Amino acid sequence: MKTKAAVLFEVGKPFEVVELDLDGPAQGEVLVRVDAAGLCHSELHLLSGALPTALPIVGGHEATGIVEETGPGVTKVKPGDRVVCTFVPACGLCRYCSTGRQNLCVYGDVPDGPLWDGTYRFHLDGRDVGSFRQLGAFSERLVTSERSIVCVDDTVPPEKAVLVSCGVPTGFGTATETGRVRPGDTVVVFGIGGIGINAVQGAVHAGAAHVVAVDPVAMKRETALEFGATHAFADAAPAIERVRTLTGGEMADQALVTVGEVDQEVVQSAQAAVGKSGTVVITGLANADFEIHAVSDWLLTREVDIRGCIYGSMNPQTDIPRLLDLWRSGRLRLDGLVTATYTLDRINEGYQDLRDGKNLRGVVVFD
């Protein structure tokens, strides 16, 4: 079949929207007609080359849509089901899945490009085209493993369902799971984008007494306050001083780093923000060769924990429906997260808006 998709052919160049050939689903795979796809900051790393991958590749790792066809052996879904795609697969059998750590499933270690069997579903003039995170969400249709989809209630609007594909669980879980925020804690969130705004929501949901947002963009600071942050600052230094005042010098319990690109300056600010037994969570991406530096005496004498985070340490197969239940009950906000929607032909405009700080989250809506 044919599908229109946004393809990256060369690092440093924009996506090109072209028509591709798409194979049908093989063993254990599902064909999804995509309704909506999220514009995540991760693709900016893909475009710049900071996230190395084989090219050409169809971008996009956040999507929702309707199952059109299933391959042999598929038992999870049937044609007509609404699904949310997740860039973190879950086989349910490996040591990580079976111990409640689906975000670390061994099938997530497969390189970007081919699917799990080493073959491709997208093609252009006889040339294989890869799928980012084994999804390739910037396409009218995609084929992926049933491990990478979660069935959700078909009454959930696409523009809401797509948000729980990546941004909401990654941010929310950064606070509640990886950061382990508890009632009464003081939390600092560095970077209020599609991930950081949901880290704010997660910290509020967990009962934090103080949630301090740090972002240079005024719109993002204002939105953080609307979503429950108690304080918002453009720079780290005044935020850290306010934390010192709020806590009587004991400093924050958690510093959550959710900036679009992690550098040593924000890591040092996060370390300065936390007190004894505090936790620094690194959720944002960095260049492949970036190294995190910490003073060993500071780590030892203060027992500070520095933790990496993928997908908010969440289990997509159970936590995506759980987050939608929180939304239905009014305890999680999805309204207000999407700043703008785009057609696929305007995808590069959407990413320029993200670079320019205009969007919390942009979404591509398919006809």
Say whether pLDDT at 364 is over 90: yes
| 6-15 pLDDT per residue, tens | 999 999 999 9
Say whether pLDDT at 226 is over 80: yes
Lowest pLDDT segment from 124-138, 204-218, 274-288, 352-366:
274-288
Say whether pLDDT at 290 is over 80: no
CATH class in words for 171-309: alpha beta
How many Cα atoms occupy the beta-carbon half-sphere of 19 within 13 Å?
Answer: 2
Is residue 41 annotated as a catalytic residue, yes or no?
Answer: no
Is residue 293 annotated as a catalytic residue, yes or no?
Answer: no
Name which of 47, 37, 41 is nearest 16 in CA terms: 47
Lowest pLDDT segment from 114-118, 251-255, 327-331:
114-118
Is residue 205 annotated as a catalytic residue, yes or no?
Answer: no
Is residue 166 annotated as a catalytic residue, yes or no?
Answer: yes
Is residue 123 annotated as a catalytic residue, yes or no?
Answer: no
Mean pLDDT of 301-322: 94
pLDDT of residue 353: 95
- Considering 41, 48, 61, 151, which one is annotated as catalytic? 61
Name which of 197, 74, 246, 81 is nearest 144 in CA terms: 74
Name which of 252, 301, 262, 304 is nearest 283 in CA terms: 262
- Considering 41, 45, 210, 231, which one is annotated as catalytic? 45
Task: Print the SS3 string covering 184-214.
Answer: CCEEEEECCCCCHHHHHHHHHHCCCCEEEEE
Q: What is the domain partition of the chain in residue ranges?
A: 2-165+336-365, 171-309
pLDDT of residue 27: 96
Say whether pLDDT at 288 is over 70: no
- Nearest 5°: phi and psi at 305? -110, 120
- Considering 166, 210, 269, 313, which one is annotated as catalytic? 166
pLDDT of residue 51: 83
Percent over 90 (pLDDT), the chain: 86
The CATH number of the domain covering residues in 2-165+336-365: 3.90.180.10
Mean pLDDT of 321-325: 97
- Considering 40, 85, 105, 309, which one is annotated as catalytic? 40
- Tell me the pLDDT band of 61, cut-offs 50, 70 and 90: very high
Q: Which amino acid is at 39?
A: L
Q: How far is CA 365 from CA 38, 157, 158, 251, 351, in A?
A: 9, 12, 9, 43, 14
